[in-house]
Each structure stands twice: as structure tokens, then as C-alpha cells.
Amino acid sequence: MLSIQSTVQLTGARVSGDFWDLDELINAIYKITGDENKYYDYQGARLRILSVCYNLRQAAKGEHQLEFVSNGLNKSVLTQHELIFPNKNVYFAAEILWPELIFTSIALNDFIRLHQELIDSSDWSIDVAAIRKFQAAVANCLEQELNEEEYLVFLRMLHTKSPLTFRYATQYVDVLNLEYIQLSLEERKAHLAAFALRLMLEDDEYVMLKSQLMEAAITTKKSLHEIEIKAKYPETILW
């Protein structure tokens, strides 16, 4: 079962599951986000989501953390079936910064909507269901870290703003990631809700950044999402 839990320092959340849990989510994300030329105005968000997806794929290969989780087998069951079998399963896990994880979760809403409008409107899509399960796990984890009022404000904003990532300057996610990393544990507890809202509010800082990026895009004749900013992440992150 896919599991998402906050890290000890609240720097991010640990996404974990067995190989098939992660494989199902990875394949669903690739399917829903579609071809790179299909949703061009969402290309920045798509690439950002796929970056997280790559992290999960690495985890599924055992390149990140491993966890051992009880599989429900006990001595009585093993004796009844005359089996010698481990009572724990291997879970693969990856840690993702909170602003990055929240952005990924809300951006997937746009791709689900586009997929349903243009590709498959079925309510029975197994890929949409897999992504909704992931989003629900993120939301459940986030709810545990926010007070009731903060969480309701976040949900209200999420449901009233659509699309969320149309021509979005995803470099702003790097800005928020780096700001968030610099906070203390107590500051993260106090300001996590604000960071979640800033991903959707398009405040003055975001507008200024996007304006600068647009100017650079015009000058270099590059797409908005191709413009790089100075965003140096620390070599070691205390999770």
C-alpha cells in the first residue's frame, strides 16, 4: 500500500510502497501527463512532475531508502500452511521536499482534467484512480501537519482555482524549496500552510519572477520553462 509520511524535520515527506505500488503510480503519471507536445502550455508543470516521477523510479530500483513492513503473516498462519516465509515485506522509499510534493499533487489535477477532456472521459480509469490515491495520501499527510482552519483554506483554494498550472513559472517551486530548506523545524511547522498557498496564489514575488523569466525567454527565444535560475540545493538535506 502506498504510504506518505512527513520526515522527522518536516523538510518533506517520505513516499513509500512496495515495487508494484510505485510502479503503478509511475506508469499512471506517465500515461496521464501524456506526450511532451500535447499540453504545451503545461510543459513546465509536466517536466516538474516527471522529475518527481524519476525520483520514485530510482526508489523502485532500490537506489534510495528501504523499509521493512509487516505483511500480516504470523506464526499461526505459517504453521497452518506449513510455510517458512518472512513476516515483513520490502518497501522502497524516496523523500521529497514539501513544496515540491504539494506542487506535484496539485499540478496533477490539471493533467487529470486534460486527460478526461481530450483522451478518456471514463470514470473507471485505473490510471486516474492511481493518481487520486497518491493525491489523497499527500492530502492526508498534509492535513496532519496543519490546523483545521489552515487545511480548509488550502482545500478551498485548490477547488476554486482552475487551471492551476497553465503557463506556470515552475522555477518558483525551486524558490520555495530553497526558502523552506532554510527554515528551522518550528518555522516549518508554523509556515507550511503558507508555502502550500503560495504555490497557488501567484503573489507579488511570483509575478516579479515570472516577469523576469518572460523577458529572458523573449531575449533568448526559449520557452518559459527552459529559462534557468540560480538555484543551488545543499549537497546534504537534513530530512
Decide if 94 contacts 4 (C-beta within 8 A): no
How confident is the model at residue 71, as a pLDDT? Answer: 64
CA distance 203 to 169: 12
How confident is the model at residue 20, as a pLDDT? Answer: 93
What is the DSSP code (8-state) at residue 10? Answer: S
Helix, strand, coil distribution of the chain in percent, nearest 5: 60, 10, 30
Give exposure, 151-179, as e/b (b: 16+ Cβ within 10 Å). beebeebbeeeebbbebbbbbbbbbbbbe
How confident is the model at residue 177, as a pLDDT? Answer: 97
Decide if 200 contacts 161 (C-beta within 8 A): yes
208 Ramachandran zone, left/alpha/beta (phi>0; psi -120 to 50): alpha
CA distance 2 to 197: 25
**191: enclosing H helix or E strand:** helix 185-201
Helix (H, G, I), strand (E, B) or coil at 69: strand
Predicted confidence (pLDDT) per residue in 42-87, tens digit: 999 999 999 999 999 999 998 888 887 776 666 676 566 766 667 6
How confident is the model at residue 36, as a pLDDT? Answer: 77
Pick from 73, 137, 58: which is nearest to 102 by CA? Answer: 137
How confident is the model at residue 69, as a pLDDT? Answer: 77
User: What pTM did the predictor assign?
Assistant: 0.91
Residues of the chain with pLDDT under 50: none
